[in-house]
Structures are given as structure tokens and as C-alpha cells.
Amino acid sequence: MTRMQRSAILILLIACGQPAQQNTNFPEAMFRGDARHTGVYETKAVARFDDVKWAFQTQGPVRSSAAISGDIVYFGSGDNHLYAVDLHSGREKWRYKTGGAVHSSPAVAGGVVYFTSRDECLYGVDALTGNQLLKYQTGELLPYNWGFDYYVSSPLVAQGVVYFGSGDGHLYALDIASGNVTWKFNAQSRVRSSPAMADNVIYFGDTQGYFYALDSATGNLKWRYASEGTKFNPAEFGFDRCALISSPAISGEVVAFGGRDGFLYALDRQSGEEKWKRDYEISWVISSPAIFNETIFTGTSDGRFAHALDLATGKEKWRFNATETVWSS
């Protein structure tokens, strides 16, 4: 398995645990565009790429996806900061320092930016000023022996609650109005998958290869699916073939996600029953899939191609050969 370290844009947004003034100048924004994480955005498409409009230099790698709310771009960096940058000029508006690298993608809601950091905290900062509104410390980081742990769970904001995974093995639900944890679910391994939500059900995966559906109000388990990765012993390969780092996408009655076991999965989101799975022959599927027009789009690592498949059957529609690994979402 290729072990190249790649840098990608990462934006983290923080949910406020204390009452925050609702600011209509900051539209909601989150990883993958909406709670279902379809990766579909209602905006004018970019017809072609010409010149670079601006570039902003940080002092660390920028991994994962930026969030745009109004005229501000929010993103995190391995230099421990969350940045707010003017969309049009690329000039810095403010930065906020945490105790660790900021490698998750942000969510903006009610004028607050929600994000997590490698210091195992969830933060909430004012979208306009960067002033801290919330800091919530999660538990001790669980062991992970395989080195490749670049990406972390990005917050989902829905119905007044921030949902996020943690390296302590839990999926958290934190009430925005009170700042209190409503519930937490123990997956017993690091949760790097970003949760998605549909019809009051939360979906996510863990680093042991299990995929979960939880009641969003109570955290009670509805079902659990064991991926192929749960059958593997990483020591036999010399690298991780278990973790579900790819974040789920939901369309209709299907929830889809990829794994380091080299498979792309489509499950019935009500029952957890497998509809189909696609074998990429060991090549990691870290890219979080997008779903549009009954087509699912994903990328592969060692396979080095972007892939479009029929959502109902998993049959190939087309593929685009890239020159390097495809890890972006």
C-alpha cells in the first residue's frame, strides 16, 4: 500500500455550547454540503480552471475541506490554527489557536464555527470575530498502531445539536443551547468518519471496520454492519485494512461509504442490509462518496482513478484515470 503523505484543504467549524446570537449574515455550511453528506451544492458550476485567484500560506499542512459562509472561507491547518479568510481577496480576517493540528472540516451554524482539533477538543468560535464561545474536552486518545491517522471526524450540526466523532472511541451529541453532552456512544475504537444524518438517524464508521446507525435523539443503536475489514488482521499486510475513514453519503434509502479494506459499500439505511459492495482489490477507498442523479462518485488510492457507479447496482458507469492517489472527497 502506498504510504505517501498528501496535503489537502481542511476546514473545521465549531459548535457553540452556550447560547449564541443567531447571525443571518452567515449561512449554514458543513462538510459535504448538508446533513446527508451527498456532496451536492446548489451553485453555479466552474466551467474551467484558469489562473489561481489567490493562495494563503499557513505553517502546516492543510487537509480536508474548507467551508464558505457568506464572504468568508474557514479552514484549519496543521499549525494548530483555524483561519478565516476573505473569499474574494484571500486576506486573513482572524485566526484561532488550539492545542493541536486542526484537520477536520468545519461546520457553520447560527453565526458560530464548529470544529475539532488534535488536542481532542471540540471548539465553537464566533464566525465574525473568532472569539471562543465553547471548548469541550473529550476523553483520552485510544491506541492506533498503523501511523496513517491524518483525518478526523468533522462536526455535523442539525436540530440544535452538534454531532462529532472522537479519538477516544465515542460519537458525541452536544446540545448547542446548553453546551451539555446529550449522549455519547462508545464504539470502542477511534471514530474518524464524519457522521451523516437522515430522518433522525445518525450514520458513521469506526477504525475497527464497523458501521453504525444510531437514534439521533437518544444515541441508541439501531443496527451495526461489519465490513470486510473486521475480518482482516492488519499485521498480515503491514498496514491498516480495517478502518472506515470515508464518511457516509445518503440518498433515498441508501447509505454509502468506503473503507481501507478496499471496498465501497451501499447499504439499506433502514435495516443495515447490504445492497452491494465493490471490490477495489486492496486499494483504499478513503474518499467520501458523492451521490447525484442515481450515481455514486468516489476515488481510490493505489488504483489512482475517480469512479462513477450506478447507485442501485454498483455497476461501473465510467472511470477517470488520475496520475496519483485520489483521497479527496
CATH number at residue 249: 2.130.10.10
Is 38 within the bounds of a domain?
no
Structural domain contains residue 21:
no
Please report the pLDDT score of residue 317 as a whole number. 96
Please check whether residue 178 lies inside any domain of the structure.
yes
State the residue for C-alpha cell 453528506.
37
Pick from 194-208, 268-282, 290-304: least confident: 290-304
What does the pLDDT average to over 204-219? 97
Domain span holding position 281:
67-321
Segment 7-34 shows an average pLDDT of 54
Domain count across the chain: 1
CA neighbor of 30 nearest in space, from 190, 194, 185, 147:
194
Q: Is residue 164 part of a domain?
A: yes
Distance (Å, whole) CA 277 – CA 261: 11
Residue 229 domain-assigned (yes or no): yes
pTM across the whole model:
0.89
Amino acid at 104: S
| Residue 42 falls inside a structural domain | no
The predicted model gives 260-278 an average pLDDT of: 96
pLDDT tens-digit map of 60-70: 999 878 999 99
Mean pLDDT, residues 85-114 taken together: 96
